[in-house]
């Protein structure tokens, strides 16, 4: 490869800038139109679930909302969100009485703007609990718990579909016992009931859930939760729903009696929800498991919705197990297709591509990786993946950080802005549905090693 200076066009400087700004605006407008259009379409997880009277949600991390592909995938596919960490006690009240809602507010306002439901997660949990809580004596702890529930629920009053009031209060294994925690150890068994009663007094419109894991099939732990819920319903303790986290892998596979277990809880007179679904694995095995979970929920009339625990494998809390529906490039995995099929939806690429007549379904994603580095420069590679329709072309803007300069490019047609920092790379040909291709470039660092900003891929 011979290094050379970036190719430039011959237009006068001002005209070039105008053209680039207009082009950028047009691309942004096209991008918005694509997500807004698709959000209404019948070929997304959310719309397919809605047609079945359910929601389809995902855990969201506020820190990723600024990433174009993340937000576009979220907005296109999901109609419910659960803040992955932002509403937990350590995030909302890290020191006593000082409440911070900034990160959670970001998620809630995004969700509201898009008409998505919000699951509140979680008010009382032994984990991600600031140290000061564990240091309190019993009566102080009771006050702190009541105040925490009250302040957090009041802040979001009217905006939360369902709250995980208490999370993971039972031990694993065969004992059916409560898990040790500051709440359990100092307040005793009654703390769960107390938490639900307090929550109900603050926001009577929100559904109040108990949420746990390893309770997905019939076993000693789920039996213990079942007995508690049954007792609550008999005595009028305000509980509306039970959440089944459903974190599955080879050690903890989808149980054969998953549906039966959901049904027995529903028969107690509560809604059931799949709250944190992820299934480690890949390919058709993972797809089959996902399809079965969705079918189980649909078979239980009180299973009101499903939430997967993240948008993309790359940000999953169990990333190495690739447990989610979208890969690290936001490509749809076989598991996605299985979920959509189980929901009765159909992929936009399937057979009848509306083409140019009925609103294009063409889409693509772009992902950056640095492939090599020397003392003065590095090579970047951008991988383009076509969505479920074939593309005749694509474009991706790449911005380097001055004083960096792109010295070489390959496998694409670059054009430049006036300053030479924004390179728009266009395809040299078409791309089959679901296929990937890549282009590359060398960046002279000139002392700055920040990775280039890779914008959204525009399909044509
Ligand atoms: C996890 C988050 O995904 C991680 O980002 C965090 O570091 C730890 O917590 N059960 C729950 C969730 O109820 O809150 C947990 O989320 C996963 C297990």
One DSSP character per residue, 381-445 reads: EEEEEE-SS-BS-EEEEEE--TT-EEEEEESSEEEE-TTS-EEEEE-SS-B-TT-EEEEEEEEE-
Residues marked as catalytic: 168, 276
Tell how far the Cα of 120 is from the centroid of ligand 1, in angstroms.
Answer: 13
* Joined tokens for residue 367: 């992902």
Candidates 386, 362, 397, 382; CA nearest to 438 is: 382
Candidates 310, 296, 237; CA nearest to 268 is: 237
Q: Helix or strand or coil: residue 55?
A: strand
Tell how far the Cα of 449 is from the centroid of ligand 1, in angstroms.
Answer: 33
User: Residue for token digits 């605006």?
Assistant: 25
**Confidence (pTM):** 0.71
C-alpha triplet 161, 82, 368: angle, nearest 5°: 150
- Return the residue whose CA atom lies nearest to atom 4 of ligand 1: 317
* Joined tokens for residue 225: 């939760």
Residue 84 Cβ inside 6 Å of ligand 1? The answer reads yes
Q: Helix or strand or coil: residue 60?
A: strand
pLDDT at 348: 62
- Return the residue whose CA atom lies nearest to atom 13 of ligand 1: 167
Tell how far the Cα of 370 is from the centroid of ligand 1, in angstroms.
Answer: 30
263 phi/psi in degrees, rounded to 5: -65, -40
CA distance 413 to 298: 48
CA distance 394 to 307: 32
Tell how far the Cα of 342 is from the centroid of ligand 1, in angstroms.
Answer: 26
Contact 193, 147 (CB under 8 A): no
Q: Which of 58, 82, 181, 317 most suits a substitution to test ligand 1, by most atoms within 8 Å of the C-beta?
A: 317
Tell how far the Cα of 84 is from the centroid of ligand 1, in angstroms.
Answer: 7
- Return the residue whose CA atom lies nearest to atom 15 of ligand 1: 84
pLDDT in tens, the chain (460 residues): 444 444 443 344 444 444 444 444 444 333 333 333 333 336 899 999 999 999 999 999 999 999 999 999 999 999 999 999 999 999 999 999 999 999 999 999 999 999 999 999 999 999 999 999 999 999 999 999 999 999 999 999 999 999 999 999 999 999 999 999 999 999 999 999 999 999 999 999 999 999 999 999 999 999 999 999 999 999 999 999 999 999 999 999 999 999 999 999 999 999 999 999 999 999 999 999 999 999 999 999 999 999 999 999 999 999 999 999 999 999 999 999 999 999 999 876 433 333 333 334 788 788 888 888 889 999 999 989 888 889 999 999 999 988 999 999 999 999 988 888 889 999 988 999 888 899 999 999 999 988 888 888 888 9
pLDDT at 193: 98
Q: How far is CA 104 from the centre of its chain?
A: 14
Dmax over CA atoms of the chain, in Å, equals: 80
Candidates 152, 222, 140; CA nearest to 183 is: 140
Residue 319 Cβ inside 6 Å of ligand 1? The answer reads no
- Return the residue whose CA atom lies nearest to atom 16 of ligand 1: 84
Q: Quick one: 283 exposed, middle or buried, by C-beta within 10 A (0-12, 13-18, 19+)?
A: exposed
Residue 58 Cβ inside 6 Å of ligand 1? The answer reads no
- Return the residue whose CA atom lies nearest to atom 9 of ligand 1: 85
Residue 276 Cβ inside 6 Å of ligand 1? The answer reads yes
Q: Which of 84, 125, 163, 320 most suits a substitution to test ligand 1, by most atoms within 8 Å of the C-beta?
A: 84
């Amino acid at each position: 490869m011979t290094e050379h200076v970036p190719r430039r066009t011959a237009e006068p400087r001002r005209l070039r800038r105008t053209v680039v700004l207009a082009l950028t605006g047009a691309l942004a407008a096209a991008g918005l139109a694509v997500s807004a259009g698709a959000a209404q379409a019948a070929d997304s997880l959310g719309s397919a679930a809605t047609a079945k009277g359910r929601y389809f949600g995902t855990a969201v991390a506020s820190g990723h909302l600024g990433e174009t592909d993340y937000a576009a995938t979220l907005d296109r596919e999901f109609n419910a969100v659960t803040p992955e960490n932002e509403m937990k006690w350590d995030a909302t009240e890290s020191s006593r009485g000082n409440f911070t809602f900034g990160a959670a507010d970001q998620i809630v306002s995004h969700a509201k703007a898009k008409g998505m439901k919000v699951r509140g997660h979680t008010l009382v949990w032994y984990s991600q609990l600031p140290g000061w809580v564990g240091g309190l004596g019993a009566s102080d702890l009771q006050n702190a718990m009541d105040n925490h529930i009250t302040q957090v629920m009041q802040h979001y009053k009217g905006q939360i579909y369902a709250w995980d009031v208490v999370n993971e209060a039972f031990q694993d294994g065969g004992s059916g016992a409560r898990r040790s925690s500051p709440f359990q150890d100092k307040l005793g068994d009654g703390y769960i009931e107390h938490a639900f009663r307090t929550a109900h007094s603050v926001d009577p419109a929100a559904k109040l859930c108990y949420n746990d894991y390893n309770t997905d099939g019939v076993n000693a732990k789920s039996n213990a939760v079942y007995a508690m819920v049954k007792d609550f319903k008999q005595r009028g303790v305000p509980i509306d729903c039970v959440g089944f986290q459903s974190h599955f892998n080879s050690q903890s596979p989808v149980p054969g009696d998953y549906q039966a277990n959901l049904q027995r809880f529903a028969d107690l007179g509560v809604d059931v929800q799949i709250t944190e679904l992820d299934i480690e694995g890949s390919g058709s095995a993972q797809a089959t498991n996902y399809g079965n979970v969705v079918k189980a929920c649909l078979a239980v009339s009180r299973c009101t919705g499903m939430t997967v625990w993240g948008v993309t494998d790359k940000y999953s809390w169990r990333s190495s197990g690739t447990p989610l529906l979208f890969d690290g490039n936001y490509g749809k995995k076989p598991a996605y297709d299985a979920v959509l099929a189980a929901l009765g939806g159909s992929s936009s690429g399937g057979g009848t591509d509306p083409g140019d007549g009925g609103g294009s379904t063409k889409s693509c994603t772009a992902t950056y990786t640095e492939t090599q580095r020397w003392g003065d420069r590095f090579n970047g590679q951008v991988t383009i993946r076509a969505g479920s329709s074939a593309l005749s072309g694509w474009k991706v803007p790449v911005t380097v950080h001055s004083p960096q300069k792109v010295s070489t490019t390959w496998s694409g047609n670059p054009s430049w802005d006036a300053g030479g920092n924004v390179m728009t790379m266009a395809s040299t040909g078409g791309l089959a549905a679901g296929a990937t291709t890549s282009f590359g470039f060398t960046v002279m660092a000139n002392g700055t090693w920040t990775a280039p900003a890779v914008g959204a891929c525009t399909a044509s």
